Structure 1
């Protein structure tokens, strides 16, 4: 997969829709009565990448995703998903789309294998259900009923149902909500495996560490507009932001913002006979810049 350069990644798209992009949006508008949920949004998502769309509740990200999935009609703008307008996407187009919603297989009385085989039957060229179960780590649960699975296992089943049709593009809506830390990291490994197989993914999540761990690029949406698109490490100027050096001296915790942290730490080191007490060098976190971008106090 070709990763966009940092310079290209921070530019918001302009001009006509990109026919080569997995998702290309220009001037998207959606209103609910007098409320403008999406207000002239532009976005490109490249084929083969994991793109994380971040934003607070009510920012317009769910509406944007539902329009791209073909579930909601737009009021204005152009949208192309895998080269087609999702508002008129037919069966062939839908077969290329996989969707993993927040609520999934749940309390099904069917077995895991039965559920995946049933889903596969809807597609013209599905993946082999047993291979899919192996990919998501559910081979040993193939004969278990859906209702007997743990939360993490149900989420893996949701992904199996989303990918058994062999989609080129997978939508993941808050995929690890409610997971414990170990289950989340196991799930991240599955998402990386799917990316390595060439699947493009649009991920919405409230976990910023998840976006940083998985996404090739992130976009922040606020008040219906896309604020910025960038590499996770570069969002909001993180890469070039001053570092904050913190240490303890004479029993007092001190800190200093600096553009030259290495030189400053060398100066500090000269003032102490050994290690600089409780030394920490940090740049703004993804959470810091995200909260600033959406207008929330850090």
Structure 2
């Protein structure tokens, strides 16, 4: 009976996604505080076929869940930038659709990181072009980094975002470097956190160590290696992207961790090759 209910929920989710892709009413975008039920299986049609998400031990209520609730002051939730229909990341198409609907008032386009630079006129589409056209969020990092003496310097050669030369937010004005990237997919962490070797097989160096626990970690979480664990990444994201001025609550961290370590995403069906699990 339970299995039948789960499959039924997945069928409904798949039908809704197909309906939207064909111009129907259902919207795959998850707004904060919606309180939907996240099913054990969730399918979305995309240009390449069908994306499938699996939630281990699902379904799960999202009402009041900190991943799906706007717990920060800027109106965003984690799900704002980690959309199920975008494999728990964010696509340029989704960002463009939100701009068409809500413009700059949508929390996605917060001036701090949802625009090319906070100094630009926030009501104009051009000020958010990197997010709308490319799905990129602004990441501002201090230069030089705290407690680090770099052996090189940074000079701005080209600055299409205008932020690295900005008098208030740029390299010389604020000592900040702005880079732009897509939000990291929040899925498949069972494999990302796994450690098959006592050393980094790519570099041949010892694995990095979590400064809080003293235990080795995979080092696969962030491309720049600035945070070693999901817990540290959450605290970093809470300040940078949710607008927190204090540390994220430990209970919220535990709840988000539980969800993130149970969600999996992969392309299930290819438009040319058919099912990919055969």
Instruction: Using structure 2 for the length normalisation, give the TM-score.
Output: 0.30
Q: Which TM-score applies when normalising by structure 1?
A: 0.29
Instruction: Choose 1 or 2 for highest CA Rg.
Output: 1
Structure of higher RCO (CA pairs closer than 8 Å, 6+ residues apart): 1
Higher strand share goes to which structure?
1
Higher helix share: 1
